[in-house]
Chain A
Amino acid sequence: MKPPLPVQPRDHREGGTGPESAPLLSVRRLSKQFPIHSRGFVKRVIGTVQAVDDVSFDLRPGETLGLVGESGSGKTTTARCILRAITPSAGEIRFRTPDGRVTDLATLPDAMLKPFRPHLQMVFQDPFSSLNPRMQVGQIVGEPLLLQRSASRREIDDRVAEMFRKVGLKPEHRTRYPHAFSGGQRQRIGIARALIMRPSLVVADEAVSALDVSVQAQILNLLKDLQADYSLTYLFVAHNLDVVRHFCDRVAVMYAGRIVELAPTNRLFTSPQHPYTKSLLAAVPWPDPDQPMQLSVSGESVDPSRLPPGCAFHPRCPACFDPCRAQRPELAARGSAAHQVACHLPEVPPA
């Protein structure tokens, strides 16, 4: 198979942002298993961790989808599979390039992925470890262009300067080193690096989690502005529901490697259907003493190497009944097509 080229042109966005427009990304039955090795010199495989299990969702052009869940729920692994930082075990990642062609990235060999890399970029959580301390920040931001060999040095320099202005940094600071910048400024550098290739999809993995609240607000505002300017689509991986509620159009809740609920943000927060989503929302410490948080779930998240049979949430679920122990519920539409839930319980009317 010939690699589906070309990379250019980048001035596209022919599709609208409505729900009827073709998805930018379609993830279908995505799974990722990691082997567990025995101790000692000869590392035999003694089991697997099902980090991501049968995950399907669509990303529409211009939208922001939040991927939430506790540590170990598989949200970061899902994101890394989509970027092909790791190779999924099974499933499809159908990505639409600006020329309208759709390619399954899941099975593409590494060498053939390069033309797709500019379109999918990532902003990392930790602005300290994700920037090379020995490189000038201008070099860090310009490096993707250099690697793709798509521009001359002079063009690179111009585009870096433009990108610095765009993310609210002074272009004359591009010869400085990362240590000279604060956490918020470093995160701006990370964003500039992600956007310099004019990607259509940006994966932000806990991009504001390490920041103080006032800086977090600056970065969230910046991401919103850039989304409008460059018609970006965001996959926003986060555990902070306060931020997700503010920032995302739709939210997918993950538990033990599976999506248990997916809905428009407002609907998810006002009318959660899955018992796990409900307990998650109840546990959020809202900054209002009149809204006490509730302790509606006990125990800890499951060990993904020892998943219980049936619904993975059933040992902690307050509403567990017989089918939950035997049969794994599939994600199905409930109420409206936009709201999907993986639960055996009948629909709960909105409160």
Chain B
Amino acid sequence: MDAEPILEVTDLHTHFFTEEGELPAVNGVSFSLGRGRTLALVGESGCGKTVTSYSILRLVQKPGRIVGGRIRLRPRTGPPIEVTQLDARDPRLFHLRGGIASMIFQEPIAALSPVHTIGAHLAEALQLHERATDAEARRRGIEMLRKVGISAPETRFDQYPHELSGGMRQRVGIAIALICNPELLIADEPTTALDVTIQAQVLHLIRSLQAELGCSVLLITHDFGVVAQAADDVAVMYLGRIVERGPVRDVIKRPRHPYTQGLLKAIPSLNLGRRLASIPGSVPSLAAIPAGCPFHPRCPHAQAGRCDVGPAPALRSLAPGHDASCLRAEEIAVAADVPSATRA
């Protein structure tokens, strides 16, 4: 692993300008992703994890806009790219999307064009980014399909997306994302739509291709199972902010933020034979983010006059590499309540 991270996001703000007002979907997010590492962004619907990932590729569309912060990408060759400062028509942005960084989407069927062959999808990326000839594109396309575990790739190359199963389509999505040998792979819920055995195959595939091709992965998920099995580090998001981040093992075994603790206590297999604890209430609207710690109205440890006043608490280091934004992290008892899953 290089000392310099491939991706650095600093105080990112991506807001949506709607009738309800300015909604801070991403509200001051900072993290870095080491070269060759996998970072999971985890959180419930509406926490801003997808908007964060879209911001990195500048895919956020109106009424959304990046209103502040920095996204710095360091390719292996060439100077670092300040993604937020690029003009929407800057050729470097074109080079970035699908070239240096690429994305796997959640719905494999929605991500593929129904009127183009699998081969056309693969060749397009190669011809745009590397000016490959037709023959070259076909050869490399078939090779990539074989690499992602598709049988009879020569036949599949000329088939249309509807002729493939869901698992196959997701493999094609991965093949398209990886064909230009990206340095950063953003995977947005890549296995959510898949069956469990296919999910295991796809997660293994991403892992082994990552080792082979040396890319870094930003994994967007809501599933702590996927986090535990596929990521090195994890950042937990709530209401547009990262509330806890650290190595996967530390965060799952010893969560320091009450929100992370609440999420883990709601997972059935971590709480066998017990009534599931659920986080009271529901996620507030982005139009009415509570003052102080945004989690305080739902937090079992909130203290009046301390957690509900002032600005949102910042992340602070509680252990090497392990940060959380809870003001009372040292005082509240942790870890003991979250046992490990008993193996089947």
Contact = CB atoms under 8 A, between A and B. Distances in A.
A245 B201 CA distance: 22
Interface in A279-301: 279-295, 297-298, 300-301
Given A212-B44, A212-B45, A288-B340, A279 B197 contact: yes
Interface string B269-303: 11110011111001000000000000000000000
Contacts of A281: 344
Interface in B309-344: 340-341, 343-344
A242 B278 contact: no
B276 A286 contact: no
Nearest to B272: A246
Chain B interface mostly: helix
A129 interface: no
Interface in A144-160: none
A300 B168 contact: yes
Contact of B268 (A218, A247, A289): A247
Contact of B196 (A184, A284, A300): A284
B200 A283 contact: yes
A293 B200 CA distance: 7
B340 A241 contact: no
A217 B277 contact: yes
A269 interface: yes
Interface in A25-50: none
Interface stretch (B69-77, B84-92, B136-144, B223-231): B223-231
Given A284-B196, A286-B341, A246 B276 contact: yes
A71 B344 CA distance: 22
Central interface residue in B44, B200, B252, B265, by most chain A CB within 10 Å: B200
Contacts of A336: none
B162 interface: no
Contacts, number: 135
A242 B269 contact: yes
B267 A287 contact: yes
Nearest to A246: B268
Contacts of B227: 287
Contacts of A85: none
A286 B264 CA distance: 12
B344 A289 contact: no
A284 B223 CA distance: 12
B165 interface: yes
A245 B197 contact: no
B248 interface: yes
Nearest to B248: A289
A292 B229 contact: yes
B163 to A, nearest CB: 12
B228 A215 contact: no
A269 B344 CA distance: 5
A288 B197 contact: no
Interface in B233-276: 248-249, 252, 262-272, 275-276
A286 B279 contact: no
Given A213-B222, A285-B228, A298 B262 contact: no
A132 interface: no
Contact of A295 (B201, B224, B262): B201
B4 interface: no
A287 B338 CA distance: 11
A306 B271 CA distance: 41
B93 interface: no
B79 to A, nearest CB: 36
Contacts of A70: 195-198
Interface residues of B, number: 48
B204 interface: yes
A301 B195 contact: yes
B83 interface: no
B277 A285 contact: no
B197 A289 contact: no
A216 B249 contact: no
A215 B283 CA distance: 10
B200 A295 contact: yes
A181 B230 CA distance: 34
A281 B263 CA distance: 23
A182 B276 contact: no
Contact of B197 (A182, A216, A283): A283
A21 interface: no
Contacts of A293: 200, 203, 229
A220 B196 contact: no
A216 B282 CA distance: 12
Nearest to B198: A300
B167 interface: yes
Interface string A229-250: 0000000000101110111000
B199 interface: yes
A286 B269 CA distance: 8
Contacts of A295: 200-201, 204
Contact of B343 (A216, A242, A291): A291
B166 interface: yes
Interface in A196-222: 212-218, 220-221
A288 B201 contact: no
A61 interface: no
A280 B168 contact: no
A280 B220 CA distance: 24
Nearest to B42: A213
Interface in A285-339: 285-295, 297-298, 300-301
A71 to B, nearest CB: 6
A272 interface: yes
A270 interface: yes
Given A284-B196, A287-B264, A217 B226 contact: no
Nearest to B45: A212
Given A246-B276, A272-B344, A287 B252 contact: yes
15 contacts: A70-B197, A217-B266, A221-B278, A245-B269, A272-B344, A281-B344, A286-B229, A286-B341, A286-B343, A287-B225, A287-B252, A288-B252, A289-B249, A291-B341, A293-B203
Given A213-B266, A214-B266, A270-B344, 18 more contacts: A70-B197, A182-B282, A212-B45, A216-B266, A217-B277, A221-B275, A221-B276, A224-B275, A245-B344, A272-B344, A281-B344, A283-B197, A287-B223, A291-B228, A293-B200, A294-B200, A295-B200, A300-B198
The 4 closest A-B pairs by CB, nearest first: A246-B268, A285-B225, A217-B266, A283-B200
